[in-house]
Amino acid sequence: MGAGDLLLLHTDGLSEHSDDQYFLTRVEERLRQVKVLTTQEIYEAIYAGLLQFAPPNDGITLMVVKRES
């Protein structure tokens, strides 16, 4: 990982949150928008977007890793 790179680890509940790639595309777009924030703020932005999209049908675990420098 290079400086400023992000890694989003998640359980299958996130990838199964939608029947198509639409939601995962939204997650990637949101990551690009919030990449300058702290890992906690990035997590909160991703999770809030998930809840706005639809309530989860399965448990979802997210981990945000960010290399600062």
Q: For residue 61, what pLDDT band results from cuts at 50, 70 and 90?
A: confident
Mean pLDDT within 41-69: 87
Distance CA 13, CA 51 (A): 13
Please state, in angstroms and rounded to a whole number, the distance separating the CA atoms of residues 46 and 30. 7
Is-contact 8 27, C-beta < 8 A?
yes
SS3 20: coil
Tokens 């989860």 sit at which residue? 56
- Domain ranges for the chain, please list them: 6-66
Average pLDDT over residues 16-30: 75
CB 1 within 8 A of CB 67: yes
